[in-house]
Chain A
Amino acid sequence: MALASDLMGIGVSPLLAARTATAGTGPISVASVGTSFATATKIGCTQFLISNTANGSVALPPVGGDNGALIGDDFVINNAAGSLNVFLSTGVSISVGGSNQVSTTLASHTTMACYPVSTTQWIAVKGS
């Protein structure tokens, strides 16, 4: 289902396009920075598909509020660089890789799909 801009071009309203496009509003390519949630590159709340090109960190958006992700949103993160850290905000965990963690890592050329299931909990499928 492409980028929101593609859906808008075929008649879907902007808000609905941003929420239903597989890649959201983009941008898809991200050069990550940082070593913590505070300093990491923030993934936008409708930036549903990203591919990282630098050794650094990204942070999943908070859930809820006007600028947050919605429960059930689908964020796909690919790491095309070296190791990538994926951080969550304070008090939020992600169920992946055999434990419930406050952050996780993504090895080179692997991909993870993440979904918020509450304002304090994400789940993820991490590929090999």
Chain B
Amino acid sequence: MALASDLIGLGLSPLLAARTASAGVGPVTMNGISGAASFASSSKIQCTQFLVTISNGTTNTAYGVALPTVGTDNGAFLGDDFVINNASSATLKIFVSSGVAISVAASNTNVTALQTHTTLTCYPISTTQWIGVRGS
């Protein structure tokens, strides 16, 4: 289902395209923050940036990105589908904001790790809870 720009080209309105394109508005590549240890210090995934690959990590340094907050004008919607790939050679940490948890890989946590060349699909199910499918 492409990028929003592709769907706009087929006649969909910009707001609808941003919400229905599987990659959202992009960009599909972004950088994690080296040594990030919290939501605050991580690269922020935007609320319609539904497909991202992170490739700037180097071995022995964990990199961090943060899922968007849920709700309000600039937040993710319940049921949005975020796909995050770690194409770097370092572990990628994925943070959620304060008071929020993600149920994935047998725990309910505020940060989860993604090993090199693996991918996580995650969905907000409330303003304080995400669920995730971590691929092998």
**Chain A positions 69-116 with a Cβ under 8 Å from a chain B Cβ:** 70-74, 95-100, 112-113, 115
CB-contact partner of A115 in B12, B83, B116, under 8 A: B83
Interface size on A, residues (CB 8 A): 29
Residue pair A72, B23 in contact (C-beta under 8 Å): yes
Cross-chain pairs A/B with CB under 8 angstroms, 23 sampled = A15-B10, A19-B10, A20-B1, A72-B3, A72-B21, A72-B50, A73-B1, A73-B2, A97-B136, A98-B117, A99-B117, A115-B51, A115-B83, A115-B85, A117-B28, A117-B29, A118-B28, A121-B53, A123-B85, A124-B135, A125-B121, A125-B135, A127-B136
* 14 extra interface residue pairs, beta carbon distance < 8 Å, beyond A98-B118, A113-B121: A16-B7, A19-B2, A70-B2, A70-B3, A72-B2, A72-B26, A96-B135, A97-B118, A98-B115, A98-B117, A118-B29, A123-B53, A125-B135, A128-B136
Taking beta carbons and an 8 Å cutoff, which residues of B are in contact with A?
A: 1-3, 6-7, 10-12, 20-24, 26, 28-29, 50-51, 53, 83, 85-87, 115-121, 133, 135-136
